[in-house]
């Protein structure tokens, strides 16, 4: 069924409302569902769901304008592991996990890992100040309305702020974190996915 602009706008607003209502406060754990061969466990104050390679949904079409200028498309990152982190400058757990994200980004980029933020429900000035405060060197897509995140609605969608998705080298969601993730847990997730055999190997 063709989606009209009005329906898409309504769906995007629903994502924003869901993200807002699920935004994590310090110490709060967001519970995730476990279905099929997906496995879930708690890491820090976040809940992790992992999906084995045979059960991963197809890659999604995601991209958009970058904070500070430029554009990015996930399709251009095929062959690399991508860590997608949904954040807002107003979000306290986002501030707590920002140093962990930057540390794992620096530790894994030589393994073919690309970090990509998704800034939502924010102002450009607030987002830029956040990036500067925490010294983030990876780019962030600007998605103020949450419409771009609809691309993940048929896989493991980011359903809280913060949320982190780890995509394999084929662009498929291999793991999702709802809530804050620790540096050690994120490093383990990324290393595991980066260590998987390359497509066609």
In sequence order, what DSSP letters do the residues of the chain get, joined into one string? -PPPHHHHHHHHHHHHHHHHHTPPPTTPPPP----TT-EEEEETTEEEEE--GGGPPPP---EEEBTTS-EEEGGGGTTSEEEEEEE-TT-HHHHHHHHHHHHHHHHHGGGTEEEEEEE-S--HHHHHHHHHHHT--S-EEE-TTS-GGGGGTTSS---SSSEEEEE-TTS-EEEEEES---HHHHHHHHHHHHTSPPTT-
For residue 195, the model assigns a pLDDT of 93
Residue 44 confidence (pLDDT): 52
pLDDT band at 25 (very low <50, low <70, confident <90, very high): very low
- State the pLDDT at residue 45: 64
Mean pLDDT of 49-58: 95
Predicted local distance difference test score (pLDDT) of residue 104? 98
What is the model's pLDDT at position 108?
Answer: 96
pLDDT of residue 46: 79
Reply yes or no on whether the pLDDT at 92 is more than 90: yes
Instruction: Assign 156 a pLDDT band (cuts: 50, 70, 90).
Output: confident
């Amino acid at each position: 069924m063709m989606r009209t602009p009005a329906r898409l706008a309504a769906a995007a607003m629903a994502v924003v409302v869901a993200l807002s209502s699920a935004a994590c406060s310090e110490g709060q754990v967001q519970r995730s569902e476990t279905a099929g061969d997906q496995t879930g466990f708690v890491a820090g104050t976040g809940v992790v769901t992992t999906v084995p390679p045979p059960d991963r949904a197809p890659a999604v079409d995601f991209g958009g304008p970058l904070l500070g200028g430029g554009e990015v498309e996930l399709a251009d990152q095929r062959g690399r592991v991508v860590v997608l982190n949904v954040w807002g400058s107003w979000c306290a757990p986002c501030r707590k996990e920002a140093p962990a994200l930057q540390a794992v980004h620096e530790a894994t980029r030589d393994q073919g890992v690309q970090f990509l933020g998704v800034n939502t429900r924010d102002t450009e000035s607030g987002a830029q100040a956040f990036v500067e405060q925490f010294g983030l060197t990876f780019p962030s897509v600007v998605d103020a309305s949450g419409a771009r995140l609809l691309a993940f609605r048929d896989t493991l969608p980011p359903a809280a702020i913060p949320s982190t998705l780890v995509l394999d080298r084929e662009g498929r969601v291999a793991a999702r974190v709802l809530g804050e993730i620790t540096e050690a847990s994120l490093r383990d997730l990324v290393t595991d996915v980066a260590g998987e055999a390359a497509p066609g190997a």
